[in-house]
Amino acid sequence: MHPILKLVAQRVALGILLLWAASVLIFVGTQILPGDVAQSILGQAATPQSLANLRAELGLNDPPVTRYFAWLGGVLTGDLGTSLTNGRDIATAMGGRLWNTLFLAFWTALIAVPTAILLGLVAVRYQGRWPDKLISGTTLATVSVPEFLLGYIAVFFLAVQYRVFPSISTVYDSMSLGEKLNAIALPILVLTLTILGHMMRMTRAAILNVMQSAYIETAELKGLGGFAVIARHAFPNAIAPVINVVMLNLAYLVVGVVVVEVVFVYPGMGQYLVDHVAKRDVPVVQACGLVFAAVYIGMNLLADVMSILANPRLRHPK
């Protein structure tokens, strides 16, 4: 087998193993939550007999191992279960929410990734001078501020004070693309500021790491300008760590948007999860947790594969 195929197969096998371990942790975590599912569904006025009947109907009297494998078998066949609060199929209800989260993540990534790489190149070009200090200081400040605080600041200035964008990011299928982008402008701004610093600083550090190499000095001796050397010679050889941090931040855009979606009442996966955690809808919480775990593990797997393909030293470890 070709070394690259062998490495990719190893990464895929490890990803599947991690996803299985994540499913076990998600199931165990939801089972040890305090409270009674049947009681939360029927309310405080429920009789003991009605509670016992509902527990039997939901399979809560079965051993945990039996319930786990029943749930896992359903997941493997595409059946994520049924919501306890409204009786709807979880996969169907989650489809629209997942699409909304991916829509928000796509437009955020389209703005944040090129901007972060460009700022990283500029910071390297003017290393130690005021552009580098300004970019590094600003991005460090945005990374240090929690997402919910950035969200409230953006709402106060851009929605309340100046009324540039709406404070609640509600989107509908009937809305045009321009209307949707206007509705999600503030969440995009907050998410961009949140992930921009990580990607910019990693780009800067990775490029500076290769700037002392002999081939960089050779390119400079040939008369190439500072930015040309960075863009044409340093950046391509520093691409592997940049790919890793970009993919991890893209995974965050899908997995870590819970706080931002709640702040802006955006109808995505994060809001969907929080709503059903409050209702103690265990099947929905399990399904959302598994989807988030699959996305995060998948993005990490993709980052590993892309790093292998981009770095000759990883393609030929010997």
The pTM for the full model equals 0.85
Report the pLDDT value the prediction gives residue 237, as an integer from 0 to 100: 77
Question: Which residue is it, tokens 């265990």?
Answer: 282
Class for the domain spanning 94-278: mainly alpha
- Distance from C-alpha of 63 to C-alpha of 115, rounded to nearest angstrom: 52
Q: Give residue limits of the domains in the chain.
A: 94-278
Report the pLDDT value the prediction gives residue 114, as an integer from 0 to 100: 93
**pLDDT tens, N- to C-terminus, the chain (318 residues):** 667 777 778 888 888 999 999 999 998 888 777 666 666 666 667 777 777 777 777 666 778 888 888 888 888 888 888 887 777 888 888 888 999 999 999 999 999 999 999 999 888 888 888 888 999 899 888 888 888 899 999 999 999 998 899 988 888 888 899 999 999 999 999 999 999 988 998 888 888 888 777 777 777 777 666 777 877 777 877 787 888 888 888 888 888 788 899 999 999 998 898 888 877 788 888 899 999 999 889 888 888 888 777 766 655 655
Helix (H) or strand (E) holding 9: helix 3-31
Report the pLDDT value the prediction gives residue 7, as an integer from 0 to 100: 76
Q: Which residues contact 68 (CB under 8 A, 6 or more apart)?
A: 24, 27
Q: Which residues contact 181 (CB under 8 A, 6 or more apart)?
A: 107
Report the pLDDT value the prediction gives residue 313, as an integer from 0 to 100: 61
Long-range Cβ pairs for the range 124-128 (8 Å, 24+): 124/204, 124/207, 124/208, 124/211, 124/230, 124/234, 125/226, 125/227, 125/230, 127/208
Report the pLDDT value the prediction gives residue 36, as an integer from 0 to 100: 66
Virtual torsion, Cα 254, 256, 257, 258, nearest 10 deg: 120
Report the pLDDT value the prediction gives residue 216, as an integer from 0 to 100: 74
- Distance from C-alpha of 74 to C-alpha of 55, rounded to nearest angstrom: 19
Helix (H, G, I), strand (E, B) or coil at 47: coil
- Distance from C-alpha of 302 to C-alpha of 249, rounded to nearest angstrom: 13
295 with 255: CB under 8 angstroms? yes
- Report DSSP state, residue 45: T
Q: Which residues contact 27 (CB under 8 A, 6 or more apart)?
A: 64, 67, 68, 71, 286
CB atoms inside a 10 Å sphere around CB 251: 20
Question: Which residue is it, tokens 């039996």?
Answer: 66
- Distance from C-alpha of 275 to C-alpha of 262, rounded to nearest angstrom: 9
